[in-house]
């Protein structure tokens, strides 16, 4: 016989999207200055043709990416991890481990008209199966581009709050979200995931 609790434990903050400006404009510029223009590559999508295999699928996603440069003090990932830990303790309360060596954060550049990332979730197969929280760190001021906005399914956020330079946005990896098509200018962000054991 299956026993179903009459009052299951529920976290009414599970659908939260955390938004806080945690990097200065100068720190964002420092991250951008550390990039290598020769390392940009077309962004890929996982699991379209084969489980655990990433491929370029421009109808689903179109933008450039490169790995995040990290200095000897682990900047900027140390600051991101600390902020997410604080947010998690008051919102989702997920069991977290940290960054995964085979799924490290990226710098994403949306610079061509039409660059986008269609509706998707970040939790998937193979290396992405342990993602718990996704994040986006805004490196570009919102008035420098049109389109290219991060949007969430059934969660409304003010554009000016999400596009302020230095703002960290954190959300559950299973929540549907997208990047709308770019129409003008360019947008740069740090995108990544905090991993942990399976949900239970």
pLDDT of residue 5: 67
pLDDT of residue 86: 97
CATH number of the domain residue 86 falls in: 2.60.120.620
Cis peptide bond N-terminal to 76, omega within 30? yes
Reported confidence tier of residue 137, pLDDT bands at 50, 70, 90: very high
Average pLDDT over residues 13-32: 97
Please report whether residue 4 resides in a domain: no
Range of the domain at 115: 18-195
Is pLDDT larger for residue 87 or for residue 7? Answer: 87
Please report whether residue 65 resides in a domain: yes
Please report whether residue 42 resides in a domain: yes
Model confidence pLDDT, tens digit, residues 142-194: 999 999 999 999 999 999 999 999 999 999 999 999 999 999 999 999 999 99
Lowest-confidence region among 44-48, 63-67, 149-153: 44-48
* Count of domains observed in the chain: 1
CB atoms within 10 A of CB 40: 15
Reported confidence tier of residue 1, pLDDT bands at 50, 70, 90: low
Please report whether residue 10 resides in a domain: no
CB neighbours of 190 closer than 8 A, spacing ≥ 6?
Answer: 31, 68, 76, 80, 105, 106, 107, 108, 135, 136, 137, 139
Average pLDDT over residues 117-144: 96
Please report whether residue 3 resides in a domain: no
Burial 175-187 (b: 16+ CB within 10 A, else e): bebbbbbbeebeb
Share of the chain above pLDDT 70, in %: 98
Bridge partner list, 136: 169, 191
CB 96 within 8 A of CB 88: yes
Please report whether residue 2 resides in a domain: no
Please report whether residue 77 resides in a domain: yes
pTM comes to 0.94
Is residue 134 classed exposed, middle or buried when 0-12, 13-18 and 19+ CB atoms within 10 A define those classes?
buried
């Amino acid at each position: 016989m299956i026993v179903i609790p009459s009052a299951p434990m529920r976290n009414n903050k599970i659908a939260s999207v955390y938004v806080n400006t945690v990097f200065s404009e100068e720190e964002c510029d420092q991250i951008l200055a550390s990039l290598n223009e020769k390392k940009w590559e077309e962004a890929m999508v996982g699991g379209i043709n084969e489980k655990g295999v990433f491929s370029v699928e421009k109808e689903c996603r179109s933008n450039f990416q490169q790995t995040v440069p990290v200095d000897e003090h682990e900047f900027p990932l140390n600051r991101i991890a600390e902020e997410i830990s604080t947010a998690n303790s008051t919102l989702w309360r997920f069991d977290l481990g940290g960054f995964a060596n085979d799924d490290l954060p990226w710098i994403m550049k949306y610079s061509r008209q039409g660059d986008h990332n269609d509706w998707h979730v970040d939790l998937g197969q193979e290396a992405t199966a342990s993602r718990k929280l996704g994040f986006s760190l805004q490196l570009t001021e919102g008035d420098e581009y049109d389109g290219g906005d991060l949007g969430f399914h059934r969660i409304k956020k003010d554009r000016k709050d999400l596009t302020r330079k230095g703002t960290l946005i954190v959300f559950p990896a299973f929540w549907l979200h997208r990047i709308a098509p770019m129409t003008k200018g360019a947008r740069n962000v740090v995108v990544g995931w905090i991993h942990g054991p399976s949900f239970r």
